[in-house]
Amino acid sequence: MLKKDLITRHPLGLQGDETDVISSGEFGAVLSRAGVGKTAFLVQLALNAMLRDKNVLHISLSDPVDKITLWYKELFNHLAQRYAFEQAGQLWESLLPHRFIMTFRVAGFSVPRLKERLADLTGQDIFHPDMVIIDGLKFNESARECLADLKKLAEEQSFHAWFSVHTHRHEETSSDSIPLPLLDVEDLFDIALQLQPVGTDIHVKPLKGPSKVISGLSPLVLDAASMLIK
Amino acid sequence: MDDRKVRNIGVSAHIDSGKTTLTERILFYTKRIHAIHDVKGKDGVGATMDSMELEKERGITIASAATFCEWGGHEINIIDTPGHVDFTVEVERSLRVLDGAVLVLCSVGGVQSQSITVDQQMKRYKVPCVAFINKCDRSGADPYRVIDQLRAKLGHNAVAIQIPIGLENNFQGIIDLVSMKAVYFDGENGENVRIEEIPGALTQEAIAKREELIDAASMFSDELTEAILEEREIPEELLTNALRSGTLTRKITPVLMGSAYKNKGVQPLLDAVTQLLPCPSDMKNEALDTDNNEKPVILSSSAEDPAVALAFKLEDGAYGQLTYIRVYQGSIAKGSTIVNARTGKKVKVGRVVRMHADQMEDMEAIPAGYIGALFGIDCASGDTFTSPGTTLTMSSMFVADPVISLSITPKDNKSQINMSKALNRFTKEDPTFKTYVDGETKETIIEGMGELHLEIYVERMRREYDAEVETGNPRVAYRETITRKAEFNYTHKKQTGGSGQYGRIAGYMEPITEEEFEFVNKITGGAIPTQFIPACEKGFYACMAKGPRMEFPVTGVRVLINDGAAHSVDSSEMAFQAAARGAFREAYAKAKAVIHEPVMKVVVETPTEFQGPVMGLLNQRRGMIVGAQDDGPMCVIEAQAPLAEMFGFSTVLRSATQGQAQFTMEFALYKLVPQSIAEELAEKAAKAKKGI
């Protein structure tokens, strides 16, 4: 198994398509209830990007750095094991420079602050993100302003961003519409995927997105144990 | 003796959070000492636990002395653990012999990076603990923030069992939430505990905090849950018992507060130690059975069974070597015979004592669960002693390979003798500290886990052993390894009169990751006579010590031999050793050898405004930044950086952050050296060769 083959195992099952699902300046969202696997899913998207030599900035508002590193390590090991990739250790080492983890406390996170941190990194030529993952941002009334600012930043710095969106059981409306937390800011997102536990599996249900992605997506099922695509 | 009345505890914390001061106060209130000295005291006496002169001067505790005291009918053994990360072996060894620990935190500094390391170690050895938030009198004290940090950063289910009466300058005493009483500390040294009703202004807060406490404790007692549901008055004992069972399983961490320096809150801490922390028989201790494939065996903690004890600390006293031991099973009595499980040597126990820092008290025997010391027993720290006929050994502790070395040269003859004495002692005390004489330069080399680690030993040599030494530049322990399979077919032939030498070896070498060196013999049909096979292995193994490329040790090589030839007269062991060396060189040249260097995990804690510059510094040092954790006014940057680039980092970091940042560094892994650096190293190696 070569690195190239590993890349094509895209978490969204996009065969042979090596470009990102969304391009710079665009936003993607992964929605689910607590504990279904938003972070795991996002980390897989990140790993895939890292395999393609893209730089991923992972911003977490809930977990400490150690825990996030563990997520990456675990999922990478699962991936390498599943596809019997031989020189996993070396590949892992080569991936690490493509990742940067930043954690904030929920209250301490703001776009100007992130901008400052980013300037620290890009200004000294330490790290230039191609993809940003924001895990744990609260989608409440004030989210719109924050997201709009982020969008501007994403366009300036030319990265695309993926968000995790926490939904609540009692807020679930009819099964086809966009869940409540995202409803308000839906226009800012170019793709939205919902993770739904069905029995022991987890189904990925596209809520909105470009047609080529949606069509390629239809039968996506995640293995609940490893969180990899079945 | 009743071992339920025994507590073996450690006082474990970040440097400078006041651990030694706290220990000092404990000894004072338990009447073990009669005057209080401070760390860095003006009276020049120093705190009693820091028995080493160097420690007194630097105000830090290096070696962990064990001391004994009594409180409320309980016997407490306190192991004072070192606070600095470079001495983690000592910390880990101490944790091994503890049953419980007091985690001391500074109410201003909170959970700092070192506290995280220490906490991880406690987790590894499953040591239950209570937290003590010290320095509540300092400006900026905020115990509740520290409790939040305990939860968020260390993942403890931290629950306050006390709240402070006033803070900072105004810190007067504490309110005990279990008994719902205010506790004040009167007298010149706070020795008179005055218990009063809770001041009116704090009643509301105390009630609210008590609710939280009861809520958390109810997880561990059905009886308590029932009492809550029936809205009965909750008896103190019930609450304490619930807290105790939560603490023993590490599911809850009771938090106490006070100020050791201002003599406040220490007596309630001692009460908590006796009430909440485990006694020796509460804890399960495992030993390994060497007769049974090192299968773990649970020790009984009964005094009747064969003795098993661990030597965890050595000290050079006025009367020879003093060995601190913890007895896990059986008892070790004066005059009995014990066996050192590592060497198999039998020793007769002479004096058995119990230690109080520098003074001692004679005993008849040390029963299971107790900590004591033996005299005149030759052993290394970490050795197990058992009754004759027992094959148990306490598991060997994880010891990392040294990553840095330094050459030392004694200044005169007297220093030479003292230096060897000192080195002999240090290597016995600390398994991560190693020493050897370089075969070529005839220099004495010391090896260890970091710059400071070695510096401290050089200092100790000077102070304790009066050995003046000059040190060379620190050298990083690089390693060589191969990256691909390479074949060899080498013939060693010499015919210069007399009996000649002849040997041919063929086979291949390949990289392995699990082991340092493996030798596989696949010779069929006696191409190489069996008696010469060990000589071949020896020859290959000898090459591993110094790689042909840069003279760094070689690791991760499997050698397989499958063919060869011998001569009935001219072949000898020597000839085959030489052939093996030649074969190694031949294959090594083709096996794409690379250099690996030790990479350290560096954690920097800095005020947020310096985050950018610190990242820049790490980046310049070939550091790979793993992440940045934003934590209000402070942030924590975690990176991996090669040790070779980290010399003098503390100075650079201080000047870049106005002295407000601190960092810890520990060995993480060996990593491939980038091409450009490898070339530099090669150049240096070539120059060094020419120089000789």
Nearest to A101 among B152, B513, B626 (CB): B626
B631 close to A (CB below 8 A): yes
CA distances for B455 relative to B88, B458, B460, B463, angstroms:
15, 5, 9, 12
Enumerate residue ranges in chain B where pLDDT < 70. Answer: 1-2, 14-17, 32-65, 80-93, 113-118, 120-121, 124, 290-294, 301, 316-319, 356-359, 395-400, 497, 632, 659, 689, 691-692
The secondary element (H helix, E strand) that includes residue B52 is none
Considering only the beta carbons, identify the residue of B630, B636, B638 that sits closest to A108: B630
Topology of domain B3-282 in CATH is Rossmann fold (3.40.50)
DSSP letters for B148-191: HHHHHHH---EEESEEEES-GGG--EEEETTTTEEEEEESTTS-
A146–chain B nearest CA distance, Å: 18
Return all residues near B525 (Cβ < 8 A) that are at least 6 apart: none
CB contact under 8 A, B632 and A117: no
Q: Given CB atoms, is A69 within the 8 Å cutoff of chain B?
A: yes
Q: Please name the member of A89, A105, A125 whose beta carbon is closest to the beta carbon of B630.
A: A105
CATH of domain B404-477: 3.30.70.870
Q: Cα–Cα distance between B370 and B70 in angstroms, integer? A: 13
Please indicate whether the domains covering B404-477 and B596-677 agree at the CATH topology level.
Answer: yes
Contacting residues of A for B152, CB less than 8 Å apart? 64
Architecture of domain A3-10+25-223: 3-Layer(aba) Sandwich (3.40)
Mean pLDDT of A64-76: 86
Residue B159 has φ and ψ, to the nearest 5°, of -130, 130
* Whole-number Cα distances in Å, B558 to A87, B523, B539, B542, B574: 18, 15, 14, 14, 22
Among the partner-chain residues A97, A103, A105, the one whose CB lies closest to the CB of B627 is: A103
d(CA B387, CA A60): 55
CA distance B333 to A171: 71
Q: Do B627 and A69 touch (CB under 8 A)?
A: yes
Right CATH number for B596-677 from 3.40.228.10, 3.40.640.10, 3.30.70.240, 3.40.50.720?
3.30.70.240
Find out whether B138 and B145 touch, Cβ atoms under 8 Å.
no
Confidence tier at A171 by pLDDT (50, 70, 90): low
Q: Which of residues 497-516 of B touch A (CB under 8 A)?
A: 513
B625 CB neighbours in chain A (<8 A) are 100, 126-127
Q: How many CB atoms lie within 10 A of CB B305?
A: 16
Closest CA to B502 of B449, B421, B444, B568: B568
Give the residue from B335, B145, B179 showing the smallest Cα distance to B271.
Answer: B179
User: Does domain B480-591 correspond to CATH entry 3.20.20.70?
Assistant: no
> Which residue is closest to B670 within chain A, CA to CA?
A93
Q: Which residue of B512, B630, B637, B672 to mutate against A (max A Cβ within 10 Å)?
A: B630
- Inter-chain CB proximity A102 and B619 less than 8 Å: no
Cβ neighbours of residue A11 closer than 8 Å, sequence gap 6 or more: A41, A44, A45, A48, A228, A229
Whether residue B636 lies within 8 A of chain A, CB to CB, comes out as: yes
Please check whether residue A64 touches B, CB under 8 A. yes
Is B627's CB within 8 Å of A100's CB? yes
The span from the CA of A56 to the CA of A102, in Å, is: 11
Residue that wins the pLDDT comparison between A178 and B150: B150
**Which residues of chain B make contact with A126, given a CB cutoff of 8 A?**
615-616, 619, 625
* Contact list, B672 vs chain A (CB under 8 Å): 93
Over residues B263-305, the pLDDT tens digits come to 888 888 888 888 888 888 777 777 777 666 667 777 776 777 7
Identify the pLDDT of residue A127.
86
Nearby residues of A47 by Cβ (< 8 Å), 6 or more positions away: A72, A75, A76, A79, A95
User: How, if at all, do strands A27-32 and A160-166 pair?
Assistant: parallel
Confidence band for A58, pLDDT divided at 50, 70 and 90 = very high
pLDDT score of A131 more than 50: yes
Q: Across the interface, do A103 and B630 touch by the CB < 8 Å criterion?
A: yes
Domain boundaries, chain B: 3-282, 286-393, 404-477, 480-591, 596-677
Confidence at residue B282, expressed as pLDDT on a 0 to 100 scale: 77
| Backbone torsions φ then ψ of B60, nearest 5 degrees | -125, 160
Of chain B residues 303-342, which have a CB less than 8 A from chain A? none
| B630: closest CA of chain A, how far (Å) | 5
**Structure token digits, residue A12:** 């969204």
**Chain B residue at shortest CA distance from A124:** B616
The full 3-state SS of A112-141, as one line of letters, equals HHHHHHHHHHHHCCCCCCCEEEEECCCCCC
Closest residue in chain B to residue A118, using alpha carbons only: B612
Give the count of Cβ contacts less than 8 A between chain A and B: 63
Q: How far is A100 from chain B (nearest CA, A)?
A: 6
What 8-state DSSP symbol labels residue B499?
S
CB contact under 8 A, B632 and A108: yes
The helix (run of H) or strand (run of E) holding residue B77 is: strand B74-80
The pLDDT of residue B89: 60
Helix (H) or strand (E) holding A56: strand A56-60
Q: Does B630 lie at the interface with A, CB-CB under 8 angstroms?
A: yes
Chain B within 8 Å of A104 (Cβ-Cβ)?
yes
CA distance B617 to B646: 10
Give chain B positions within 8 Å (CB) of A73.
none
Residue-wise pLDDT for B90-119, tens only, equals 666 677 788 888 888 888 877 776 666 667
Q: How far apart are CA B11 and CA B23, in angstroms?
A: 8
Answer yes or no: are the C-beta atoms of B564 and B528 closer than 8 Å.
yes
> Is B286-393 a CATH 1.10.287.610 domain?
no
Dihedral in degrees, nearest 10, Cα atoms B610, B613, B614, B619: 160
Residue A121 in contact with partner chain B when CB distance is under 8 A: yes
Which residues in chain A are contacts of B615 at CB distance < 8 A? 120-121, 124, 126
Q: DSSP class of residue B643?
A: G
What's the average model confidence in pLDDT over A159-179? Answer: 73
- What residues in A contact B624, CB-CB < 8 Å? 96-97
The DSSP call for residue B84 is S
Task: Measure in Å the smallest separation between the Cα of B374 and chain A Cα atoms.
Answer: 43
Give the Å distances, CA to CA, from A79 to A20, A100, B450, B514: 19, 20, 36, 22
Rounded CA separation B159/B214 (Å)? 10
DSSP state of A178: P
Asked if B671 has any chain A CB less than 8 Å from its own CB, the reply is: yes
Which pLDDT belongs to residue B459? 82
B114 burial class (0-12, 13-18, 19+ CB within 10 angstroms)? buried
Whether A108 and B671 lie within 8 Å, measured CB to CB: no
Q: Which residue has the higher pLDDT, A178 or B216?
A: B216
Cβ neighbours of A16 (radius 10 Å): 6
- pLDDT above 80 for A17: no
A100 to chain B, any CB pair closer than 8 A? The answer is: yes
In Å, how far are A31, A204, B436, B560, B594 from B480, measured between CA atoms? 48, 47, 20, 19, 6
CA-CA-CA-CA torsion sign (A37, A43, A49, A54): positive
CB under 8 Å to B395, separation ≥6 — which residues?
B286, B287, B288, B294, B296
Task: Determine if residue B653 is left, alpha or beta; phi over 0 gives left, psi from -120 to 50 gives alpha, anything else beta.
Answer: alpha
Chain CA centroid to CA A157, Å: 18
The whole-angstrom separation of Cα A194 and Cα A136 is 16
ipTM: 0.80
- pLDDT computed for residue B426 by the predictor: 82
**Contact with chain B for residue A112, Cβ under 8 A:** no
Q: In chain A, what residues touch B619 (CB-CB under 8 Å)?
A: 124-126
State the sign of the Cα–Cα–Cα–Cα dihedral B116, B117, B118, B122.
positive
Give the closest-approach CA distance of A136 to chain B in angstroms: 15
Q: Which of B83, B89, B86, B127 is nearest to B109 (CA)?
A: B83
Q: Which of A68, A104, A127 sits opposite B630 (nearest CB)?
A: A104
What pLDDT sits at residue A218?
A: 53
Domain range annotation of chain A: 3-10+25-223
Is A93 in Cβ contact with B672 (below 8 Å)? yes
